[in-house]
């Protein structure tokens, strides 16, 4: 049966009410929506720091509209950053974050991350082998490293624009981090040209004792906005991708955890975890009321460089995502909030209520993802656009 090619994604089937009961013990869709509504209205606050980077990846979203391109971490800048942190984390320290663009080229950031008890950071991994980098991370008590590996050698060169001969150095640096007892996980960006790299990449990393790989779809943010259409996944690519991950999961068994970054592929309502997260039964940072924390302004990212406030950290390259600014210890909002009610009433395409029974639970998935494609297509009201790809829709139409 064709479903066997996707069975690791189809662990919770039946009617919507049956799926809700099986995953949450709540009796119905109405009870589920009531549980969602009762979740606390938290707001994540994230300081977005466009630190210098040693790569120019084709799909990097971290390029602020009107920004300087990079922040110099002088002592004066670090002092200013500490001041911003003391203000912005006050409402709810548990829901405060710092996001440097690339930590290995911004080691002065580590002292502040250590002060804030931050033990996880992202890196492209390119210079982990350089003198002092690993030691600096250890000294700052960084325990978890998320390293980007875009597939095989050719995909690496295509994605990073680096010399393909550097690919082996990247793999060696992943191994170096594992041997230095970091908890290493991998982000693997997915685009049309590297889907066939998945199985071999998983094998190579698994042999290094990497246990967690998360696949994240390349979307039209930042540098990627101007990439040709051929770069991006289509519906046929989505089927191939899911089949490949399904097959690779079965080969890996319990030795590795292979997951999808939900914002990029959409939520999977044929699994159980999404129901438990949305109902507030299990904790899943940022624990927002909706799948997309942009709705009801449950996320605000403040650019350290410009002090502009954004509704989504991946929306920095879009003027439309700027919702206000930070000045003198206060965030001032200059645009109305995108509310759950307005999204539900205005969603279109595959995400309209007429086209998707999961719409009241999902509210159209990642709004910035839909926005970016709609903006490129010159659609009106792009924040209400439907998705181009959704794992739930794909599985439902098998």
- pLDDT per residue as tens digits for the range 77-115: 999 999 999 999 998 898 999 999 999 999 999 999 999
- In this model, does residue 317 exceed pLDDT 90? yes
* 23 has a pLDDT exceeding 80: yes
Query: What pLDDT score was predicted for residue 69?
Result: 75
Please report the pLDDT score of residue 42 as a whole number. Answer: 87
First to last CA, the chain: 11
**Confidence (pLDDT) at 335:** 97
pLDDT digits (tens, 9 = 90+) for 337-372: 999 999 999 999 999 999 999 999 999 999 999 999
Q: Residue 146 pairs with which residues in a beta bridge?
A: 122, 185
Q: Tell me, what's the pLDDT at 66?
A: 85
State yes or no: pLDDT of 6 exceeds 80.
Answer: yes
Average pLDDT over every residue of 253-269:
94
Model pLDDT, residue 287:
82
Domain boundaries, given as residue ranges, for the chain:
44-276
For 44-276, CATH number?
Answer: 3.20.20.70
* Closest among 372, 349, 374, 347 to 362, alpha carbons compared: 347
The answer, yes or no, to whether residue 1 has pLDDT greater than 60, is: no
Give the tens place of pLDDT for each residue, 191-230.
Answer: 999 999 999 999 999 999 999 999 999 999 999 999 999 9
Q: How many CB atoms lie within 10 A of CB 332?
A: 11
At 265 the pLDDT is 96
When pLDDT is averaged across residues 284-292 and rounded to a whole number, the result is 87
Q: What is the mean pLDDT of residues 49-69?
A: 91
Q: What is the mean pLDDT of the chain?
A: 95
Angle at 269 between CA 265 and CA 272, to 5 degrees: 115
- What mean pLDDT do residues 225-241 have? 95
Check residue 68 and give its pLDDT: 77
Q: pLDDT of 109-151, one tens digit each? A: 999 999 999 999 999 999 999 999 999 999 999 999 999 999 9
Percent of the chain with pLDDT over 70: 99
For 76, counting Cβ atoms within 10 Å of its Cβ (0-12 exposed, 13-18 middle, 19+ buried), the class is exposed
Strands 44-49 and 299-303: parallel
The two three-digit tokens of residue 63, written as one number = 């390029």
């Amino acid at each position: 049966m064709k479903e066997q090619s996707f069975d690791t994604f189809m662990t919770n089937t039946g009617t919507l009410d049956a799926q809700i009961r099986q995953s949450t013990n709540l009796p119905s869709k109405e009870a589920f929506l009531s549980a969602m509504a009762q979740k606390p209205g938290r707001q994540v606050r994230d300081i977005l720091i466009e630190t210098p980077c040693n790569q120019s990846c084709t799909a990097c979203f971290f390029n602020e509209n009107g920004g300087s391109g990079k922040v110099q971490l002088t002592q004066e800048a670090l002092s200013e950053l500490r001041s911003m942190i003391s203000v912005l984390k006050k409402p709810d320290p548990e829901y405060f974050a710092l996001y440097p663009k690339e930590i290995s080229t911004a080691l002065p950031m580590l002292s502040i991350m250590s002060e804030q008890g931050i033990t996880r950071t992202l890196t492209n991994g390119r210079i982990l082998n350089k003198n002092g980098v690993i030691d600096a991370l250890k000294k700052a008590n960084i325990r978890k490293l998320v390293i980007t590996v875009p597939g095989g050698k050719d995909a690496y060169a295509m994605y990073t624009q680096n010399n393909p001969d550097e690919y082996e150095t990247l793999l060696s640096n992943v191994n170096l981090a594992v041997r230095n007892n970091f908890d290493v996980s991998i982000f693997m960006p997915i685009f049309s040209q590297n889907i066939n790299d998945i199985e071999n990449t998983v094998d190579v990393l698994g042999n290094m004792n990497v246990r967690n790989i998360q696949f994240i779809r390349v979307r039209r943010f930042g540098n990627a906005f101007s990439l040709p259409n051929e770069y991006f996944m289509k519906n046929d690519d989505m089927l191939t991708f899911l089949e490949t991950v399904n097959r690779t999961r079965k080969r890996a068994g319990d030795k590795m955890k292979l997951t999808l970054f939900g914002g990029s592929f959409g939520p999977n309502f044929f699994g159980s975890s999404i129901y438990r997260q949305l109902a507030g039964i299990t904790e899943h940072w940022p624990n927002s009321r909706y799948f997309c924390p942009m709705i009801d302004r449950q996320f605000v990212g403040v650019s350290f460089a410009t002090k502009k406030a954004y509704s989504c950290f991946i929306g920095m390259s879009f003027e439309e995502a700027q919702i206000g600014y930070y000045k003198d210890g206060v965030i001032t909002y200059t645009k109305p909030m995108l509310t759950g009610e307005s999204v539900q009433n205005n969603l279109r395409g595959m995400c309209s209520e007429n086209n998707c029974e999961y719409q009241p639970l999902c509210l159209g998935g990642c709004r910035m993802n839909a926005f970016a494609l709609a903006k490129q297509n010159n659609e009106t009201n792009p924040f209400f656009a439907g998705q181009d790809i959704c794992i739930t829709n794909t599985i439902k139409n098998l």
